[in-house]
Amino acid sequence: MVKANQDGSHSVMDVTEYRREFAAYNAEIELAHFNQRAGFTNELNLKPIIERFSDLFTKDSIETIKNKKQNTPANQETEIKSLDSLLTSSQIGFIERCAREVTDEVARCEVSSKVSWNKETISIHSATRVLANEDNAQRRQDLYSRWADAVGSCNDLRSARFEELQSASHELGFENLLAFYRSEKKIDYKTLANQTNNFLARTEENYFNSLNKTILLNMTEVAPSELHHADYFRFNRMVWLDVFFPKHNLKKAYAQTMEGLGIDPEKQTNIKIDDEIRPQKNARAACFRIKPPDDVRLLLSPIGGIYDYRTFFHEAGHAQHFAWMSHSLFERNPEFIYTPENATTEAFAFLFQNLFNDPIWVSENLPHLREEQAKQISKETSLLTLFSVRRACAKLTYEIELHSSTDMRSEKLAQNHAASQSQATGFKRGHELYLWDVDDGFYCADYLRAWAFEAGFREHLKSRYGRHWWKNKKSADELIDLWNTGSRYRVEELAQLVGFGETGFDFLADDLIKAIREK
């Protein structure tokens, strides 16, 4: 690998030095994203960081890592796997570097896009919080239309960004982004889509029966047949459960759960929680591995009620995973920490978020609940989980089309996105969100693989440590052992290592159907 020196000359960067630079680069990128999403800075402006570490993501560096991997003896399995992960990260870094300028432009456009509402001007990120708390269906539709127009105003830039990414994948010898990600992340997306389409069919009747009952009972201002994406934010907020989820009890419930596992969150100074409200703060919660395990930051923008609880526990699952990662692993193999394999950490996030789907945990951690109330709450949150899985199933099929498309501005793409989401979730979609609703790198597939693993892993914990596994310190020992390895193992490998076999969507479907039907 060639490295530019300060005097303009060049020298060869060995793999050890490459890894050190790779870790420093990712730490700065994570910090930049944290500051922008926390509302501390208006612009993402990754260009200076990418330019400073530009030697990491060149064709020369990619070829050097390839050669290093090819010349590594077959018996050095961990080194081969680490180089493979490093190669994937390097190639993803290459295509992102090619799109860096327009990526910054998209971020600037989104920050500057505003919505006029109630004689105020609010950001597109704040608008979703207002939508979630608006109880008048017509006002939701009005605000949603303004929000969707503001979001759609950046679509030309989003299209240009995907075109740049597509072009960069061609430079690396791939037909399109679909072929690139299929090769680099080693996932057959079409086979996965066949499995998730079966999941959609298997859960459809029970999902819509449960959704319709919930809407008829709790959102009487709108008919189930007339649900729109404007109503989704209210549904996801589940304001009717607010009485059970007071703001002051959130961190108490979290602390009680962690302490049951033998973890004292008060002593985890390496996890910093930012739950302040700021005008430009992104309403979407996130966790940032600035320099794990020593600097992990959890970002939460409170909306209220069960939404805050589930979101907090999800991001706390990430935070615990990052905070228990091995120091030596970070120093030796940062590519297992800053990794394109997202399903592993998402699985641990879902493990904690889905505690709300368990009526026993709910009754133990929310004050003054009757048994039937705990069961009803867990049914409602299980419905939210099923909604999210079905939404991701539809996203996967759509993104296969998107990432193999030659025309990112195609009206057909926008129509197909709206139709697939409307059919899967029951909330009608407009066309404006067809590029806004896409996370990089087929992240929806990582979510789906994580959900499938988490369902089996949760059953494993129950079988091994008891129905109250979250109160058994031995289950924490197993979790910490797994967290210590970062994302060294894919979820499919973890399933084999843990001992419950292959992951699959049939068990996930049956688990969620049972949860939403249970009396």
Q: What confidence tens digit (pLDDT) does each residue in 264-275 have? A: 999 999 999 998
pLDDT at 7 exceeding the cut of 70: no
Task: Look at residue 23 in the predicted model and tell me its pLDDT.
Answer: 96
Predicted local distance difference test score (pLDDT) of residue 482: 97
- ω before 48 within 30° of 0 (cis)? no
Average confidence (pLDDT) over 21-45: 92
**How far is Cα 88 from Cα 383, in angstroms, rounded to an integer?**
36
**Is 53 a member of any domain?**
yes
Mean residue pLDDT across the chain? 93
pLDDT classification of 512: cutoffs 50, 70, 90: very high
More confident: 193 or 42: 193
Q: How confident is the model at residue 13 (pLDDT cuts 50, 70, 90)?
A: low
Q: Does residue 235 share a domain with residue 98? A: no
pLDDT of residue 367: 85
- Residue 237, φ and ψ in degrees, nearest 5: -75, -30
Residues 234 and 164 in one domain: no
Whether residue 135 is contained in a domain is answered as: no
Mean pLDDT for the stretch of residues 500-508: 90
**CATH at 427:** 1.10.1370.30
> What total number of domains does the chain contain?
2
Query: What percentage of the chain has pLDDT greater than the value 90?
Result: 87
> Residue 109 — pLDDT band, cuts 50, 70, 90?
very high
Burial grade of 264 (CB within 10 A; 0-12, 13-18, 19 or more) = exposed
Same domain? 261 vs 398: yes
Is residue 210 a part of any domain in this protein?
yes
Q: Considering only CA atoms, which of 388, 359, 354 is closest in space to residue 372?
A: 359
Q: Is residue 200 within 8 Å of 208, Cβ to Cβ?
A: no
> Does the pLDDT of residue 279 top 90, yes or no?
no
Specify whether the CB–CB gap between 62 and 172 falls below 8 A.
yes
Whether residue 329 is found in the same domain as residue 399: yes
Listed residue (149, 38, 171) closest to 98, CA to CA: 171
Residues 409 and 494 occupy one common structural domain: yes
Structure tokens at 27: 């730490």
Residues 458 and 356 occupy one common structural domain: yes
184 vs 188, 295, 340, 473, CA distance in Å?
11, 29, 9, 38
pLDDT bin (cut points 50, 70, 90) of residue 311 is: very high
Residue 125 reports pLDDT greater than 90: no
Cβ–Cβ under 8 Å, residues 237 and 133: yes
Do 89 and 220 lie in one domain? The reply is: no
Assess whether 331 and 459 both reside in one domain. yes
Average of per-residue pLDDT across 9-21: 75
pLDDT score, position 303 = 83
Q: Which two tokens stand for residue 349?
A: 């996030």
DSSP codes, 61-111: HHHHHHHHHHTS-TT-HHHHHHHHHHHHHHHHHHHHHHTHHHHHHHHHHHH
Angle of CA points 51, 52, 57, to nearest 5°: 65
The neighbour count for residue 214, using CB atoms within 10 Å, is 19
Judge if 22 and 59 occupy the same domain.
Answer: yes
Q: What is the DSSP string of 199-218?
A: HHHHHHHHHHHHHHHHHHHH
- Given a cut of 90, whether residue 44 has pLDDT beyond it is no
One domain, residues 228 and 107: no
pLDDT at 4: 54
Q: Does residue 519 have a pLDDT over 90?
A: no
- pLDDT mean over 132-136: 94
- Over residues 83-105, the mean pLDDT reads 93
For residue 479, the enclosing domain spans 199-266+307-517
Average pLDDT over residues 385-398: 98
162 and 215 belong to one structural domain: no
Q: Is 495 exposed, middle or buried (0-12, 13-18, 19+ CB in 10 A)?
A: buried
Give the single-character DSSP code of 288: E
Mean pLDDT of 59-73: 93
**Average of per-residue pLDDT across 283-307:** 91
Please list the helix, strand and coil fractions of the chain in percent, rounded to the nearest 5, in that order.
70, 5, 25
- pLDDT per residue as tens digits for the range 440-492: 999 999 999 999 999 999 999 999 999 999 999 999 999 999 999 999 999 99
Which of 15-19, 231-235, 291-295, 446-450 has the least mean pLDDT?
Answer: 15-19
Q: Classify residue 292: in a domain, yes or no.
A: no
Give me the pLDDT at residue 10, please. Answer: 43
Angle between helices 443-465 and 505-517 (to 10 degrees): 70
Q: pTM above the 0.85 mark? A: yes
Do 232 and 427 form a contact (C-beta atoms < 8 A)? Answer: yes
Per-residue pLDDT at 369: 92
Taking the CA atoms of 309, 316, 111 and 392 in sequence, report the sign of the dihedral they define. Answer: negative
At residue 394, φ and ψ (nearest 5 deg) are -65, -35
pLDDT in tens, 165-176: 999 999 999 999
Inside any domain, residue 138: no
- The DSSP element (H or E) to which 256 belongs, if any, is helix 250-260
Q: Is 60 exceeded by the pLDDT of residue 9?
A: no
In a domain, 294, yes or no: no
Q: pLDDT grade, residue 51 (50/70/90)? A: confident
Is 312 contained in some domain?
yes
Q: Is residue 326 part of a domain?
A: yes
pLDDT tier at 139 (50, 70, 90 boundaries)?
very high
Same domain, 352 and 452: yes
